[in-house]
Amino acid sequence: GAGVSQTPSNKVTEKGKYVELRCDPISGHTALYWYRQSLGQGPEFLIYFQGTGAADDSGLPNDRFFAVRPEGSVSTLKIQRTERGDSAVYLCASSTNLNTGELFFGEGSRLTVL
Amino acid sequence: AQKVTQAQTEISVVEKEDVTLDCVYETRDTTYYLFWYKQPPSGELVFLIRRNSFDEQNEISGRYSWNFQKSTSSFNFTITASQVVDSAVYFCALSEDSGNTPLVFGKGTRLSVIA
């Protein structure tokens, strides 16, 4: 497809389990971002990739969260030992390297930790 | 530190009314960028506008217009003759550098346009 694709769209898991969320950005976009959106809140920055490297991971809340982008395209957000407070919609966005600030967002992955 | 405040949590208007969504920002930088995004029920945020701190000209795009005032640190968004399809959550955002630095979003304003 032409847009940012995120899978799964919905994920329900139990506390303590490991979760992976996948983002497939728009072809050719070198910048990729992960945001987290809790109910009634705005998106909160987690991590940003420029190519394969994490340019800024200052938003990751703790060491249970990790993200990779090994080939500079698809990215995976990994959450270990999930907690109920991790429940949120995880948004992925991509952009060109033209510094326009125009991010193209996916529809998000809704994570529910029981 | 950068901060974006959208004081209006929810607004409800009748179709064809004009509506203004407020946005107030805080930053120590002299160079920064302001954005508005729309989030329809599908959940996918859609970029509406980007404005840099050196350009205080108001902008109009169809029924949408934006008023940027550095003196009050505000970047308000007006929809003229609102339509039901305008119903969504609208987010104002700030970046203290050009595009590729992380955007800081406000909490959003939920707009409901009633037919």
- The stretch A19-32 carries a mean pLDDT of 95
**Percent share of chain A, pLDDT over 70:** 96
A104–B47 CB contact, under 8 Å? yes
At residue B12, the pLDDT reads 97
At residue B43, the pLDDT reads 87
Nearest-Cα distance to chain B for A6, in Å, is 11
Residues of B in contact with A40 (CB under 8 A): 107-108
Residues of B in contact with A101 (CB under 8 A): 33, 35, 50, 95, 98-100, 103
**Percent share of chain A, pLDDT over 90:** 82
At residue A1, the pLDDT reads 55
At residue B100, the pLDDT reads 55
- Between CA B54 and CA B35 the distance in angstroms is 14
Interface of B with A in 32-51 (CB under 8 A): 33, 35, 37, 42-47, 50
Tokens 């992380």 found at: B102
> How many helices and strands, by DSSP H and E, does chain B display?
0, 12
Residue B1: band (very low, low, confident or very high) from pLDDT cuts 50, 70, 90: confident
B93–A42 CB contact, under 8 Å? yes
A5 exposure class (CB count in 10 Å sphere: 0-12, 13-18, 19+): middle
Q: Rounded mean pLDDT of chain A?
A: 93
A42–B106 CB contact, under 8 Å? yes
> Phi/psi class of residue B73: alpha, beta or left (left: φ > 0; alpha: ψ in -120 to 50)?
left
Q: How many CB pairs under 8 A join A and B?
A: 66
Residue B99: band (very low, low, confident or very high) from pLDDT cuts 50, 70, 90: low
DSSP string over A65-98:
EEEE-TTSS-EEEEE-S--GGG-EEEEEEEE-SS
The answer, yes or no, to whether residue B98 has pLDDT greater than 70, is no
Name the pairing type of β-strands B64-69 and B88-95: unpaired
DSSP string over A17-63:
--EEEEEE--TT--EEEEEEE-TTS--EEEEEEETTEEEE-TT--ST
Residues of A in contact with B107 (CB under 8 A): 40-42
The answer, yes or no, to whether residue B78 has pLDDT greater than 90, is yes
pLDDT in tens, B12-57: 999 999 999 999 999 988 889 999 999 998 889 999 999 989 888 8
User: What residues does B79 pair with on adjacent strands?
Assistant: B19, B64
Average the pLDDT over each of A83-87, A105-109, B67-71, B97-101 and give the range with the smallest value: B97-101
B105–A48 CB contact, under 8 Å? no
